[in-house]
């Protein structure tokens, strides 16, 4: 199948849908006049971002020179130093906020089917898999056990008598149709339940190990890693993701009779490591103690160079400062870039930042986060009060020439790392990007630089730069959002 076919049509449909969601606010918006001086400034910010290759150069530097950067790894430390240096060279006020992070290291990972219905003598089948973050190791020689395939948590409970000592395979499928309809994140969360809590649930029933069908649309037999959650005081068990094709193979064979697998995983959990959030301030000219946060996470999974998760997002956020630096432009308030630590397997970075501003939340006026890849920029997602929507009209007007003028209001969190701020009432924003193929590569060995289009990256920078500048320039901040 040609994955790119129909892309424009679907984008147009998605845009119409999102505008539809805007509803009555669109009328109010049309009547709000835009100050011509402000409109001119926003246009300059947009054009500075669209005309700069800084983001592409930094993303190439991050992915080619540093590469994978799982929390606690040498790559993560190198990325922190590299991005901090880049921000210093722009003249931003840079500091590293210390964070202690989990330190999990992948080892060997192998699996094969050693018995199944109709197996010819001497034949075994090698499976493609990768350990989930937080997995424990098998015995050094591996383990061999019967496979129990389940399609949901109800089936797991119904078969609980068969679970002890066996390997549970969760066969939940990722709904690519939902992703194609512009709902990739809900599709991810839906299929992701098996990965987030499947291993801990099966471990509580006595499973020897758990394998999940890889989440996402990948169809090159690539397993998709990610974090799995253990209950408090629960001992982790070996847990891994099978490539979707191999999960389907196991499912077909298990439907015919008993299947036995040999599994070897040798990951290690080391003591917590020293890490940091990178914070770079572009000072405000009137109210430097008030902040608009623009952010992405600097850690990544270890299988690839994390070009789209979240290299593109964190670099696009950093490039907001570079767009303003080119113009020597300072908004009323400070624009604060944050490169978050440890989004992927712990969230310690955003917790440390929130703890540091908890006593002065009035100073946090708005927060922007990009963590859904480097797809074509369509506009903005905003978690704001309904009556604040009309005030965003100048942003949409400035972004219309690059086709990023969709505004979608959402209740609740729009990003993992800004969620604590949003829960405290801070208006939250994210670039609205085309995510239909984000989960084809996300958390796999294929999340590499070639998946990023430099023009899409520049458009994402422009979207966040115009939004950040506008929010930092408002005479009064947008109203606080009631916590759902």
Catalytic machinery residues: 343
Q: How many residues does this entry show for the chain?
A: 484
Q: Where are the alpha helices (DSSP H) in 23-163?
A: 25-31, 36-50, 54-61, 74-89, 153-158
Contacting residues for 262 by C-beta, under 8 A, at least 6 apart: 111, 112, 114, 142, 143, 144
To Zn ion, the closest distance from the beta carbon of 161 in angstroms equals 39
Instruction: Find out whether 288 and 333 touch, Cβ atoms under 8 Å.
Output: yes
- The nearer residue to Zn ion, 106 or 297, going by C-beta atoms, is 297
The stretch among 96-104, 302-310, 383-391, 432-440 that binds Zn ion (CB under 5 A) is 302-310
Q: How many chain residues are in contact with Zn ion, going by CB under 5 A?
A: 3
To Zn ion, the closest distance from the beta carbon of 178 in angstroms equals 19
Secondary structure in 3-state letters for 328-394? CCCCCEEEEEEEECCCCCCCHHHHHHHHHHHHHHHHEEEEEECCCCCCCEEEEEEECCHHHHHHHHH
Q: Binders of Zn ion among 358-377, rule CB under 5 A?
A: 371
To Zn ion, the closest distance from the beta carbon of 76 in angstroms equals 14
CA–CA gap between residue 343 and residue 402 (Å, rounded): 30
To Zn ion, the closest distance from the beta carbon of 297 in angstroms equals 6
To Zn ion, the closest distance from the beta carbon of 344 in angstroms equals 6
- The nearer residue to Zn ion, 347 or 379, going by C-beta atoms, is 347
Q: % helix / strand / coil in the chain, to the nearest 5?
A: 40, 25, 35
Q: Binders of Zn ion among 219-238, rule CB under 5 A?
A: none
- The nearer residue to Zn ion, 55 or 435, going by C-beta atoms, is 435
- The nearer residue to Zn ion, 284 or 373, going by C-beta atoms, is 373
Q: Does residue 109 touch Zn ion according to CB under 5 A?
A: no
Q: Does residue 309 touch Zn ion according to CB under 5 A?
A: yes
Q: Binders of Zn ion among 160-219, rule CB under 5 A?
A: none
For residue 15, give both structure tokens.
């845009």
Q: Does residue 310 touch Zn ion according to CB under 5 A?
A: yes
- The nearer residue to Zn ion, 266 or 448, going by C-beta atoms, is 448
Q: What is the DSSP letter of 63?
A: I
Residues that bind Zn ion (CB under 5 A): 309-310, 371
């Amino acid at each position: 199948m040609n994955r790119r076919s129909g892309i424009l049509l679907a984008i147009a449909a998605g845009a119409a849908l999102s505008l539809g969601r805007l509803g009555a606010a669109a009328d109010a918006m049309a009547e709000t006049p835009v100050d011509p001086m402000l409109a001119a400034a926003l246009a300059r910010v947009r054009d500075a971002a669209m005309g700069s290759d800084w983001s592409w150069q930094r993303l190439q530097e991050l992915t080619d020179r540093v590469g994978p950067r799982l929390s606690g790894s040498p790559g993560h430390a190198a990325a922190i130093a590299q991005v901090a240096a880049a921000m210093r060279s722009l003249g931003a006020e840079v500091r590293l906020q210390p964070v202690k992070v989990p330190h999990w290291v992948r080892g060997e990972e192998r699996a094969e089917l050693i018995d199944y219905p109709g197996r010819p003598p001497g034949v075994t089948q090698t499976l493609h898999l990768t350990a989930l973050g937080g997995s424990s190791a098998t015995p050094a020689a591996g383990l061999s056990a019967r496979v129990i395939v389940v399609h949901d948590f109800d089936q797991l409970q119904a078969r609980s008598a068969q679970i002890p000592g066996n390997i549970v395979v969760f066969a939940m499928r990722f709904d690519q149709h939902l992703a194609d309809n512009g709902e990739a994140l809900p599709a991810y969360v839906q299929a992701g339940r098996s990965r987030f809590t499947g291993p801990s649930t099966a471990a509580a029933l006595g499973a020897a190990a758990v394998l999940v069908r890889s989440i996402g649309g990948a169809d090159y037999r690539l397993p998709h890693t990610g974090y799995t959650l253990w209950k408090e005081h629960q001992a982790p068990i070996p847990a891994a993701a099978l490539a979707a094709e191999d999960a389907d193979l196991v499912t077909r064979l298990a439907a015919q009779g008993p299947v036995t697998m040999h599994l070897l995983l040798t990951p290690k959990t080391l003591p917590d490591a020293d890490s940091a959030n990178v914070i770079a301030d572009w000072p405000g000219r009137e109210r430097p103690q008030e902040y608009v946060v623009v952010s992405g996470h600097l850690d990544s999974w270890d299988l690839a160079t994390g070009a789209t998760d979240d290299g593109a997002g964190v670099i696009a956020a950093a490039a907001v400062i570079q767009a303003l630096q080119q113009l020597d432009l300072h908004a009323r308030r400070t624009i604060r870039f944050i490169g978050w630590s440890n989004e992927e397997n712990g969230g310690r970075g955003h917790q440390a930042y929130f703890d540091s501003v908890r006593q002065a939340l009035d100073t946090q006026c708005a927060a922007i986060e990009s963590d859904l890849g480097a797809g074509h920029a369509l506009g903005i997602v905003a978690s704001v009060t309904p009556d604040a929507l009309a005030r965003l009209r100048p942003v949409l007007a400035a972004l219309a020439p690059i086709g990023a003028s969709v505004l979608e209001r959402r209740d609740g969190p729009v990003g993992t790392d800004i969620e604590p701020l949003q829960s405290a009432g801070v208006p939250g924003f994210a670039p609205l990007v085309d995510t239909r193929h984000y989960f084809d590569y996300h958390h796999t060995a294929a999340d590499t630089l070639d998946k990023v289009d430099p023009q899409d990256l520049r458009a994402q920078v422009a979207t966040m730069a115009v939004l950040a500048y506008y929010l930092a320039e408002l005479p009064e901040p947008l109203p606080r959002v009631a916590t759902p």
